[in-house]
Structure 1
Amino acid sequence: MSKEYCCTNNHQDQDHHHNHNHDHAHHHSEEGIKAFAPAIFSFVLLMLGLLLEHYFHAEFLTGWIKLLWYLVAYLPVGLPVLKEAWEGIQKGSFFSEFFLMGIATIGAFILEEYPEGVAVMLFYSIGEVFQGMAVSKARKNIQNLIDQRPDEVTLVTNSEMTIVKAKTVEVGSVIQLKPGGKLALDGELLTERASFNTAALTGESKPDTFQKGDKVLAGMINLNTVCQIKVTAKYQDSKLSKILDLVQNATKHKAPTELFIQKFAKIYTPIVVFLALGITILPYFFVADYQIKDWLYRALVFLVISCPCALVISIPLGYFGGIGAASKNGILVKGSNFLDVLASVQKVVMDKTGTLTEGVFKVQEVNIKEGFSAEDLLAKVNILESHSSHPVATAIHEYVGDGDTSIQLSNIEEIPGMGLRALDAEGELLVGNFKLLEKFQIKEIEPPLATSHTLIAIAYKGFYAGYISIADQVKMNSSKAIYQLNEIKVESIMLSGDKNSVVEAVAKGLGIRHYYGELLPEDKVEKLKALKNEEVKIAFVGDGINDAPVIALSDVGLAMGGLGSDAAIETADVVIQDDDPLKIPMAIAIGKKTKQIVWQNIAFAFGVKALVLILGAGGMATMWEAVFADVGVALLAVLNAVRVLKTRF
């Protein structure tokens, strides 16, 4: 019944999500039309004016009428830029790209080169719209990835149920969540016991059981019982909201290339303005037939060509595109500086459990001695383990199933660090490690000599009865991830706190040549320090909680499935949301691609500008070539920058 309900509920959620996305897309298309409206208006007037002038030779389009015509075409796209320039001047920032565009276009109007003045502003505004659309798309990818909370919740007031908007629910309110429902708000569990799928937050594939008073987080899915939750944080203050804000503000953490371009633009722009002034005035002293109009026109062309729009716009956009592409693939990058580091990583150091393995135990072998009924004994072990919340208990229950539920056990006792003890009608049952059996002086214990698995020893009625071997499963994509890292010449190293035999078995199975086991957290730190002494860029991948010190020490820290913890959010530079090891080489590939696109833009922008500057200074380039050198290059650079969003990794 609950399974059917869960499926139905999910289907309804999908329909709601689809409608929401449809409305959202419609809203964005309307916004896109509004953003392009001034440019479309100016473009129509500009093209019509040029046709009337040069094709139809309209006699009326002269003098004040011509000025007015092109002024009307100029204002929708020019006013916003002039406003930005004026606001910059008021704040003490004289030499901005807006200032350059303003001088150049006003100068063009003074020289009666009206179409050129309109064209400069028109194409600049189109570039700005494309930039805004690209940033919006990247932000939307991040939003869709993380913010998967339902919009509505069931509010409980005086035993009455009311469906309300999640954003309106106050702290302290009580909400109800049915099986299959996704939690919209952080809260405290009021129901005695409930199980949740926490994969969206922690990356853990196994369900977690929570007791009354435990904290539950937005994004978790209720699995098996109607439960009530006391809200502890508003919708906008939930853990997921904080992560969303963190990633959307990733542009604050700028890459060295971005910082250099920003500093470069601040020095470069005033130099360009004074050079343009020199081009206008200095020829007066050296040229016989000096015409101020000609040299002023050359200076204006020089100004338009020199405008650093292509660099100022496309480079941050290239990095933001990389962050957007990463988020689209389930990788949350906290800043463009970390994309740069990912591009240069030479060694990836990984934790074993939860990174390369599932962190979920599975029964590998059942070895029961002759003289004992394996079916009967496993049924008893299963009943006893049902009193434990340890992952081992879950593994045994998954292996045995429901079994014989009529078995009665009494005097159930947990021996800390060893296992469980109970009595039935025939005698004593012990289930745990071999130390438990030694404690109760069990005879003829026969542990296997060597194994890479965890062993659960069983004794019944005072005699050793056998063991169950349990192991953590290697993730399906772990081997492929190591192969891909080897392909791009990145060395893989595994560190783990597990015993050496287990670590060796996993490492050899995955093709990892360098591995270290039985390490305490402080040992991992020492190992990483030793690796850093080799002066190579190191990425560390862990769960973001126990490995927080090592993540902090690495050049770039990746948290696997750690979104549910503050340690992951605060310490990791990159968070892999779906716990997939393949995202490790993918993150490096995205970093490399982003850096490649950024440097392509730098080389392209400088190359074209240098060429047209020489032509402009020599009087061989008009304002139209200048428009291409500035706005055309900027547009091409922007299109190249957003290419990373379309790339499949």
Structure 2
Amino acid sequence: MKKQDIGDENKSKVSKAPNPKTDQPKEVHSENDDHDHDQIGEEDSDWKSHWQLLLAIAILFVMLTLEFGFAYVPEFPINLIIFSVAYLLAGYNVLYMAWRKAIRFDFFNEFFLMSVATIGAFAIGSYSEGVAVMAFYSIGEWFQDAAVNRAKRSIKALLDIRPDEVTVIRNGKAEVINPKDVGLDEIIRVKPGEKVALDGELISEKASFNTAALTGESKPDSKAKGDTVYAGMINLNTVAEIKVTSLFTDSKLSKILEMVQDATARKSQTQLFISRFAKIYTPIVFALAVAVCLIPYFFVENYSFSEWFYRALVFLVISCPCALVVSIPLGYFGGIGLASRNGILFKGSNFLDVMTAINAVVMDKTGTLTEGVFKVQEIVTKDIEEPYLVKLAAAIESQSTHPIGIAIVQHAGTEKGKALSIAEVEEISGHGLKGKIDGKEVLAGNTKLMKKFKIEYPAEIDSIVYTIVVVAVDKKYKGHITIADKIKEDAAQAIKELHALNIKTVMLSGDKQAVVDEVAKKLGIDNAYGDLLPEDKVKKVQDLKNEGKHIAFVGDGVNDAPVVALADAGIAMGGLGSDATIETADIVIQNDQPSKIVTAIKIGKLTKQIVWQNIILAMTVKLIVLGLGAGGIATLWEAVIADVGVALLAILNAVRIQRMKL
């Protein structure tokens, strides 16, 4: 059977540094390359080829009935003509593909192999067996195509969720147009039950949405005026108006769709091995078939060419690597689909393999194990009014996108007064921010920032467990703001399940050690390190790799890009708002749940288990029947039944993953 191309040529635009353990060269195809799935049994193929196959089987059945059940049997050349018609009906597509490849001197493929075997059967008068081989082979193709197309439809139904039209408000009137024609800042209207077509900002007072298409979670997500809404969400109850903030091609959903399509094109190491194996295996099989036919001439008394030629044909039929080249890509394709349904996006089937070897998971704290939703808990001042301290901190933190800075800005939202003049803001990685506000030098960050600029602060600050933003004005300590984060609901369960899989857990954070230790203690994490700069995180990960650990790093795909590149697998908590993580990471968890890390590992292991079951099954059966065929015990009938049978078993085993629930 044919090897399925289940994705377009990989065109992923991954922005992270190359990872020699995972990055692979792309396969380059010319215009004239035969994509086998374009030839036989494609989803949109016409019914003619199916009726041809059914007619061929009917003719074969009638002829066998006449041969074994009645006295009258058509004689030569009538029987040859009838069987030839049945043969051409059943095998036209296979013969066509064999011819197309042969004229380009590509003889070592399954189409040429099956053509030689069946034409050879006709040459020695085994007409019914020749037709049977082609008919059963085509039946196997039909079942294979059904399985592959079902997998395609499954993922397509899951991901192809962009509406074809959208209602836009122009000049006070509602117009229904294509989403591609909507510009930035235009207002779109989404009725209850409709899908959101474009990313935007909710301008209605409130609305509730189903986010299952993006996160895998079906529970309603309530939005208020000013909140971000994403394409693919389904409006649940009230008419919602949304101001468009991203064009159709730039939406979160478009990026996800592109990534999943790319994922089906990037092959795993197992797939690459099987592709290389098939290119070597097929010519060896042809050579052995020739040997089976000719070598006995020198050693066997009463040598009969037709007998040994028949054995060679049996050898060719059973040697066809159908189960391997079909079920293995199908297994990985099913794994990607299963992950997608669980809100996990793999950038390639190679990362399914990578996850099976992971024995250490390294995690960032904020936004990974904690919700990253910070709230101001306490404000302490020295020689400055509290409202003014908050305004200074909020003014400089407004230049940052860090969750801590956002919490301060939100807290200061109700403060009134004169707007501040901000200039020369500089972010000092791992420390905080420095800038000029109304002509004064303002520092806002952690205690490392104060130490860097030799600013004295109260010693008791170092003993505070929670996150602290210390503020200094003109080289003098003016106060600090205490901020607390919340641990995610499923974080403890995720750590417990990772330990059950015998996987080491490590937490790396730029937050101070006291905070990190408290979180690690609550969750049961093996090792936790705080007060780390980006380069410190790289060193910690490198130390783990030197110990022989296979590492998955989970965190922010942008800020931790060096660590993501160094790790065997970079996992991003993509959520609904982090565009950059989709570009950077190898795997994206869409709903930000740490428990999905365990799910991703389980899917990888399950996929690899099914793939290797198919490899062992196919090779075992083929070796047995190859020996029987060469020994003259197995006939063409038995060879084709064994070949198609093992292929069907492998396909059924591969599609099993599509129905599994984790």
> Residue 317 of structure 1 aligns to which amino acid in structure 2?
L
1:98 offset after TM fit, Å? 0.7
1:284 offset after TM fit, Å? 2.9
Aligned match of 1:122: 135
> Take 2:445 and 2:576, find their aligned partners in 1: how far apart are those partners?
33
- Against the structure 1 CA distance between its residues 38 and 580, is the aligned structure 2 distance closer, same or farther, given a 3 Å change threshold? farther
Aligned match of 1:52: 66
Q: Does the aligned pair in 1 maintain the 2:375–2:483 contact within 8 Å?
A: yes
> Take 2:415 and 2:516, find their aligned partners in 1: how far apart are those partners?
39
- SS of 2:591's equivalent in the other structure is coil
> Take 1:197 and 1:454, find their aligned partners in 2: how far apart are those partners?
33
- Against the structure 1 CA distance between its residues 497 and 610, is the aligned structure 2 distance closer, same or farther, given a 3 Å change threshold? same
- Against the structure 1 CA distance between its residues 143 and 610, is the aligned structure 2 distance closer, same or farther, given a 3 Å change threshold? same
Q: 1:394-421: per-residue Cα shift (whole Å, max 9, x none)?
A: 979999xx9xxxx995447699989xxx
Q: Does the aligned pair in 1 maintain the 2:202–2:224 contact within 8 Å?
A: no
1:454 offset after TM fit, Å? 4.1
Counterpart among 356, 361, 364 of residue 374 in structure 2: 361
**1:381-530 equivalences in 2 (<5 Å):** 409-411=416-418, 450-454=463-467, 470-530=483-543
> Take 1:449 and 1:256, find their aligned partners in 2: how far apart are those partners?
49
Q: Does 1:338 align with 2:346?
A: no
Q: Does the aligned pair in 1 maintain the 2:323–2:651 contact within 8 Å?
A: yes
**1:176-575 equivalences in 2 (<5 Å):** 176-178=188-190, 183-185=196-198, 218-219=231-232, 226-229=241-244, 232-234=247-249, 238-361=251-374, 409-411=416-418, 450-454=463-467, 470-561=483-574, 564-565=577-578, 567-575=580-588
> Take 2:61 and 2:515, find their aligned partners in 1: how far apart are those partners?
73
Q: Please list every run of 5 or more consecutive structure 1 residues that lacks an aligned counterpart in the other structure.
A: 1-27, 369-376, 419-431, 439-444, 459-465
- SS of 2:374's equivalent in the other structure is strand
> Take 1:316 and 1:93, find their aligned partners in 2: how far apart are those partners?
22
> Take 2:610 and 2:643, find their aligned partners in 1: how far apart are those partners?
19
Normalising to structure 1: TM-score of the pair? 0.75
Aligned match of 1:426: none
Counterpart among 149, 152, 162 of residue 149 in structure 1: 162
- SS of 1:282's equivalent in the other structure is helix
Q: Which has the higher helix share?
A: 1
> Take 2:202 and 2:350, find their aligned partners in 1: how far apart are those partners?
43
Q: Does the aligned pair in 2 maintain the 1:563–1:575 contact within 8 Å?
A: no
Counterpart among 635, 645, 649 of residue 622 in structure 1: 635
Counterpart among 53, 57, 77 of residue 43 in structure 1: 57
- Against the structure 1 CA distance between its residues 91 and 573, is the aligned structure 2 distance closer, same or farther, given a 3 Å change threshold? farther
Q: Which moved more, 1:513-522 or 1:111-120?
A: 111-120
> Residue 508 of structure 2 aligns to which amino acid in structure 1?
L
- Against the structure 1 CA distance between its residues 258 and 202, is the aligned structure 2 distance closer, same or farther, given a 3 Å change threshold? closer
Q: Does the aligned pair in 1 maintain the 2:292–2:312 contact within 8 Å?
A: yes
- Against the structure 1 CA distance between its residues 347 and 394, is the aligned structure 2 distance closer, same or farther, given a 3 Å change threshold? closer
Q: Which moved more, 1:219-228 or 1:322-331?
A: 219-228
> Take 2:579 and 2:328, find their aligned partners in 1: how far apart are those partners?
31
Q: Does the aligned pair in 2 maintain the 1:203–1:562 contact within 8 Å?
A: no
- Against the structure 1 CA distance between its residues 356 and 290, is the aligned structure 2 distance closer, same or farther, given a 3 Å change threshold? same
- SS of 2:371's equivalent in the other structure is strand
> Take 1:331 and 1:392, find their aligned partners in 2: how far apart are those partners?
27
> Residue 349 of structure 2 aligns to which amino acid in structure 1?
S
Q: Does the aligned pair in 2 maintain the 1:362–1:473 contact within 8 Å?
A: no
- SS of 2:486's equivalent in the other structure is strand
1:282 offset after TM fit, Å? 2.7
Aligned match of 2:28: none
- SS of 1:506's equivalent in the other structure is helix
1:276 offset after TM fit, Å? 1.4
1:567 offset after TM fit, Å? 3.4
- SS of 1:226's equivalent in the other structure is strand
Task: Quote the RMSD (CA, aligned, Å).
Answer: 4.6
1:351 offset after TM fit, Å? 1.0
Aligned match of 1:442: none
Aligned match of 1:166: 179
> Take 2:446 and 2:541, find their aligned partners in 1: how far apart are those partners?
34
> Residue 46 of structure 1 aligns to which amino acid in structure 2?
L
Q: Which moved more, 1:332-341 or 1:389-398?
A: 389-398
- Against the structure 1 CA distance between its residues 571 and 91, is the aligned structure 2 distance closer, same or farther, given a 3 Å change threshold? farther
> Residue 57 of structure 2 aligns to which amino acid in structure 1?
F
- Against the structure 1 CA distance between its residues 539 and 385, is the aligned structure 2 distance closer, same or farther, given a 3 Å change threshold? closer
- Against the structure 1 CA distance between its residues 523 and 339, is the aligned structure 2 distance closer, same or farther, given a 3 Å change threshold? same
Q: Please list every run of 5 or more consecutive structure 2 residues that lacks an aligned counterpart in the other structure.
A: 1-41, 381-385, 426-431, 434-443, 451-457, 472-478
> Take 2:350 and 2:636, find their aligned partners in 1: how far apart are those partners?
37
> Residue 176 of structure 1 aligns to which amino acid in structure 2?
I
1:352 offset after TM fit, Å? 1.1
1:590 offset after TM fit, Å? 1.3
> Residue 300 of structure 2 aligns to which amino acid in structure 1?
V
Counterpart among 96, 115, 131 of residue 83 in structure 1: 96
Counterpart among 570, 574, 578 of residue 591 in structure 2: 578
> Take 1:30 and 1:512, find their aligned partners in 2: how far apart are those partners?
52
1:530 offset after TM fit, Å? 1.5
Q: Does the aligned pair in 2 maintain the 1:452–1:502 contact within 8 Å?
A: yes
Counterpart among 651, 655, 659 of residue 638 in structure 1: 651
> Residue 256 of structure 1 aligns to which amino acid in structure 2?
Q
> Take 1:301 and 1:521, find their aligned partners in 2: how far apart are those partners?
63
Normalising to structure 2: TM-score of the pair? 0.74
Aligned match of 1:13: none
Q: Which moved more, 1:533-542 or 1:39-48?
A: 39-48
- SS of 2:372's equivalent in the other structure is strand
Q: Does the aligned pair in 2 maintain the 1:350–1:495 contact within 8 Å?
A: yes
Aligned match of 1:131: 144
> Take 1:80 and 1:173, find their aligned partners in 2: how far apart are those partners?
53
Counterpart among 111, 114, 117 of residue 124 in structure 2: 111
> Take 1:504 and 1:35, find their aligned partners in 2: how far apart are those partners?
66
- Against the structure 1 CA distance between its residues 73 and 297, is the aligned structure 2 distance closer, same or farther, given a 3 Å change threshold? same
Q: 1:600-646: per-residue Cα shift (whole Å, max 9, x none)?
A: 22221111111111111110100122113322111111111222222
Aligned match of 1:101: 114
> Take 2:65 and 2:446, find their aligned partners in 1: how far apart are those partners?
93
Q: Does the aligned pair in 1 maintain the 2:67–2:73 contact within 8 Å?
A: no
- Against the structure 1 CA distance between its residues 30 and 147, is the aligned structure 2 distance closer, same or farther, given a 3 Å change threshold? closer
How many residues are paired up?
A: 571
- SS of 1:335's equivalent in the other structure is coil
